Structure 1
Amino acid sequence: MMKLNWKTITLASLLFVGVPMLSIMGSGHSLQPENAYALSTDTSPVGTNRITEVVKKQDKAVVGVHSSVKMERTRGMDPRNPFGPGVPSPGPAPQGSGSGFIIDKEGHVLTNNHVVDGADQVKIQLHDGKEYEAEVIGKDPATDIALLKIVRKEGDTSPLPHMKLGDSKNLEVGEWVIAIGNPFGLNHTVTTGIVSAKGRNLGSGPYDAFIQTDASINPGNSGGPLLNMNGDVIGINTMILSGNGGNVGIGFAIPINMAKSIVADLKKDGKVTRGWLGVTIQKMTEELASSFGLSEPKGVLINGVLPKGPAERGGLKRGDVIVKYDGQDLVDFSALPKMVGTTAPGKTVTLDILRDGKPVSVEVTIEKMQESQA
C-alpha cells in the first residue's frame, strides 16, 4: 500500500482541486451546495438528526429477554463410596438471552421463538434495569415468533413505553433502517444500515420471506426491532449469515406484517391457526414448462394430491399448474404456502389452473392445518 505524507496529500489536492481549494482558503466559504439537504426524504437520514430522534423516542420500548430452564440434577461421586452410584448434585441451569420490544400498554412483548423455546422461566429487563417475570402467551416455531407478557404486581400501573407496528409491505430496497438490541449482552446497542433485499427465502421454513439488511446484527440481537426512519417497527431481527458467528453485513429480519397477522391467534389460542390445501408442489422450471406445453415457467406444479384433503374434494389433480390463487398471481413458487397458510379455514377460494395446457378454474374450501400436517 502506498504511504502518503502530508506533502503528498497537499500536492495532490492542489493538482486536482486547484482553484476551488484556493478560493475556499481565501474567502472562508465552503463548497457545500446551497440546498445541501435536498436529497433528504422521509426515509433518508442524510444531513439530518433523524436517527438520533428515532432512537431517543423508541429505545425505551426495547427490552432484554432472559430465559432459563430448571436446575438439572446430576450424579456426583460419593466420597464415602467412590465406586457407588453417586449422590445427586445440582447441575448448571442452561440460560439464553436475546431482545424484544413492547407493542402495547398492556405489556405484550414480541421476540423470537428460539429465544424462549424450552424455557421454564423468562424474565424481561426494561431500559431502566427493572426486571419482571414474563408469561409466554404463545409461540409459532414455523415463523420463529413468540409473544410474551410482562407480569406486574398488583398496583403497578406505571405506563409502559411501546412501539408502533409499521407496514413492511411498503419497505423499499435501499431504504435506511435501524436495529436496536442487546448483542453479546451489550444492552440497547443501536446499529444502522439499509434494506439489502426483500423476500429472502433461506430454506428454513415454508413461510420464509426475510428482510435482508446490512445493519449490524449479532448474537443477542434476536427478537429486537428493525425500525424505519419514522420509528415504526418493520421487522423482527432474527438471524445472521456468517462463517464465524459474527456480523458480516448480512442480517435477516421477519417482516412485521407476518407478525401482525399471527399476534391475534397467539393472544387467543397460544398458537397459530393456518389454512391447509392438501397438495405437494414443485417449482416450475423451463424444462417442465416446455414439457407441459407452456411458453414460460409460470405458476406452481402440483406433483401430488393428498387423499381426502380439500384439494382432492375441490377437483385438483396431479399435473395441474396453479397460476392464480384467489385472484393473486403466483409469480414465485414460495408464495403459495404463504397464501394458503394465511387463508382462514372454511373460506372457499378460486384457483386458476392450467390442465393439459388449457385454463380451468376450480373452487376449493380451505381446511385447518393440523400439527401433523405442518
Structure 2
Amino acid sequence: MRPLPTLLALTLAAAFGGFAATALRDGLRSPAEAATPALLPAAAALPASANGAPMPSLAPMLQKVLPAVVSVHSEQHVQVSPFGNDPIFSRMFPELTQDRINQSLGSGVIVDAAKGYVLTNHHVIEGADAVSVTLSDGRTLKAEFLGSDPDTDVALMRIPAQNLTAIPLGNSGALRVGDFVVAVGNPFGLGQTVTSGIVSAVGRSNLPGAGYQNFIQTDASINPGNSGGALVNLNGELVGINTASFNPRGSMAGNIGLGFAIPADIARNIMGQLIANKGVVRRGTLGVETQDVDARIAKALGLADARGAAVTRVFPESAAAAAGLRAGDVIVGANGQRIDDGEALRNFQGLQSPDAKVTLDVVRDGKPLQVTTGLRESARDGGSLDARLAGASFGELPETLRRQGASGVLVTSVAAGSRAARSGLRSGDVILSASSGGFDDLDSFRASFARSPRQLVLTVWRSGQRGQLLMQ
C-alpha cells in the first residue's frame, strides 16, 4: 500500500477510533477544552422587592432543574513514548513507554430518573475507558455507556436510578428568537453554574467542523466544561444540549455571546434510536444527486430566486423514485424548512430516521408542487449489491469528514469467515473508488453496481495507507 495524500489522510483519520470527536474546530471551540477564567468584579445584589412587589427570580425554576444537571468525568488510558509516534523506536525501546491517564470534564443532563438515562455530548466521552457522573448532591456514580452519534454530537449514558431528578424534555421546535433561556453546566470544572440569555437564532448550520447541524444559538455564556449541559426555558424544560461556543481567538478570550446547543427534539430522536438500536443511529435518505442553484440554472429553470437543490439524478428503487421526483426538479423546502442548496438538503436528510415522512416543496417546470414520501435507510448490505461483497455492510462517511471534502463509503462491519472477509475487507475500511464505477456516497455506490463488473477491485484506505483489494 502507498501513502494516501496528506490532506485526505488527515481528513479521513477522524473516521476511526469512534470517528473522532465532533469537537468544533477552526474557530468553533469545544467547551470541553480547559481554560483559565478571567476574574470579574461581583455585581451588586438586587433588592428582594421593589415598591412592595417581589423581584422576579429564576431561583424557583432552577431549584427543580439543578439536581438534574451533572458533572461528567471521563478517563482515557494512553501509551506515551519519549519517541512520540515513531513506530520503529517505540518497538525498539518498549520499556520506555509509559501509561498515562487523560482526564476531561464536561456536563450532562438526567432525562429519565426511573431508568437513569443521562444525555451528554459525544465529544465529552469519546474514547473514554471509564466515565463517572457527579450529582448536585455530591454523589459520584459510575456511568454505563449506551451509545453515541458523532455526527450530531449526542451521547447516552445510564447511571444507577437511585433518588434521581430528571428534566422534562421540551419542544425545541417552538423556540423563537428572543425567548429567554438558561444554560446550566460545569464550566472550567468550577462546579454547577448558571448563565442566562436569549435565543439569538434557530436553525444555525454551516459551522466549521460539525456534522449534521440545526443549532440553537444563544448569548447565554457557554464556556469550556459546559459541553453536554442543559439549556432550559423559563418553564424548566430542556430545550437544548449545550455543545460549543464560537470565538476566533479561542476560549482564553472569554465569552463573546455566541453559544450553540443541540435542539432537544434532535437529542430526543437520537436517544430513542440509541436505545432501540443498541447504541446505533440509523439514517434515512431520499436517493438523489443534486447541485446548487445559481443564477444561470435559476434562469434556465424559470425560478424566481437562485436558491434550492436541483435534482440531477434520481437513483432507482429510492424513496425519491417512488415519490415521482425526476431530474430537473428543484427542492426548495422540506417539512417547512427552507432548503437553499444541496448541503442544506443533505443536512436535513441526516437528521431524519429511515421511517420519517417528508413533505418536499418542489419547483417543476417553473411551477410549485408538494411531494410527500417516506425515507429509506442509507445503510447497505454488501451482498445485495454484489455477491463478492457478501458479509460486508456499508454506511456513509461521517458528515464531519464530508464537510472537509472527503468522499467514499465506510465499511461498517464484516462478518467473520464471509466472502468479503476472505478477500481481505475489514470493518473500518474506507472505499475510495471501485471498478464498478464512480461514486461519491452510499447512494451512488449502490447505483454503480447496476452492471456488475467482471473484476471487482476496490481502492481502500486503511490505517493511513491506500491500496487495492481484488474481491473474489
- TM-score bin, normalised by smaller chain: 0.7 to 0.9
User: 2:212 matched to 1:244?
Assistant: no
Offset at residue 91 of structure 1 (A): 2.8
Q: Which residue of 2 is the match for residue 141 of structure 1?
A: 150
Offset at residue 69 of structure 1 (A): 1.5
Q: Which residue of 2 is the match for residue 215 of structure 1?
A: 220
Offset at residue 126 of structure 1 (A): 1.0
1:112 alignment partner AA: N
Q: CA RMSD in A?
A: 3.1
Q: 2:267 aligns with which of 241, 259, 265?
A: 259
Secondary structure class of the residue paired with 2:396? coil
Offset at residue 297 of structure 1 (A): 3.4
2:76 alignment partner AA: V
User: 2:69 matched to 1:65?
Assistant: no
Q: 2:103 aligns with which of 92, 95, 108?
A: 95
* Larger Cα-atom Rg: 1
CA distance in 1 between counterparts of 2:293 and 2:129 reads 45
CA distance in 1 between counterparts of 2:242 and 2:170 reads 15
Secondary structure class of the residue paired with 1:195? strand
1:69 alignment partner AA: Q
Contact 1:325 1:349 (8 Å CA) reproduced? yes
CA distance in 1 between counterparts of 2:234 and 2:223 reads 21
User: 2:194 matched to 1:171?
Assistant: no
Secondary structure class of the residue paired with 1:289? helix
Contact 1:75 1:86 (8 Å CA) reproduced? no
CA distance in 1 between counterparts of 2:358 and 2:232 reads 35
Q: 1:234 aligns with which of 239, 242, 252?
A: 239
1:238 alignment partner AA: T
Q: Which residue of 1 is the match for residue 24 of structure 2?
A: none
Q: Which residue of 2 is the match for residue 181 of structure 1?
A: 185
User: 2:203 matched to 1:199?
Assistant: yes
More moved, 332-341 vs 195-204? 332-341
Cα distance change of structure 1 residues 264 and 346 upon mapping to structure 2, 3 Å threshold: closer
Contact 1:280 1:305 (8 Å CA) reproduced? yes
CA distance in 2 between counterparts of 1:361 and 1:171 reads 26
User: 2:297 matched to 1:288?
Assistant: yes
Offset at residue 255 of structure 1 (A): 0.9
Offset at residue 90 of structure 1 (A): 2.7
Offset at residue 180 of structure 1 (A): 0.9
Aligned length: 320
Identity %: 42
1:94 alignment partner AA: N
More contact order relative to length (CA 8 Å, sep ≥ 6): 2
TM-score where L is the length of structure 2: 0.61
Q: 1:372 aligns with which of 395, 416, 419?
A: 395
Cα distance change of structure 1 residues 291 and 222 upon mapping to structure 2, 3 Å threshold: same
Q: 2:162 aligns with which of 158, 174, 177?
A: 158
Contact 1:62 1:101 (8 Å CA) reproduced? yes
Within-5 A mapping of 1:296-315: 296-297=305-306, 299-306=308-315, 309-312=318-321, 315=324
Cα distance change of structure 1 residues 68 and 248 upon mapping to structure 2, 3 Å threshold: same
More moved, 110-119 vs 337-346? 337-346
Secondary structure class of the residue paired with 1:55? helix
Contact 1:178 1:192 (8 Å CA) reproduced? yes
Offset at residue 160 of structure 1 (A): 0.5
Contact 2:107 2:120 (8 Å CA) reproduced? yes
CA distance in 1 between counterparts of 2:301 and 2:52 reads 58
Contact 1:69 1:94 (8 Å CA) reproduced? yes
In the alignment, structure 1 segments of 5+ residues that lack a partner are: 1-31, 38-46, 77-83
Offset at residue 373 of structure 1 (A): 2.5
Cα distance change of structure 1 residues 61 and 359 upon mapping to structure 2, 3 Å threshold: closer
Q: Which deviations, in whole Å up to 9, do the C-alpha atoms of 1:226-263 show, x marking residues without a partner?
A: 11111111111100111121321111111111111221
CA distance in 2 between counterparts of 1:129 and 1:34 reads 39
Q: Which deviations, in whole Å up to 9, do the C-alpha atoms of 1:349-374 show, x marking residues without a partner?
A: 66553344355776755210226225
1:59 alignment partner AA: L
Q: Which residue of 2 is the match for residue 29 of structure 1?
A: none
Q: Which residue of 1 is the match for residue 122 of structure 2?
A: 113
Cα distance change of structure 1 residues 252 and 348 upon mapping to structure 2, 3 Å threshold: closer
Q: Which residue of 2 is the match for residue 48 of structure 1?
A: 56
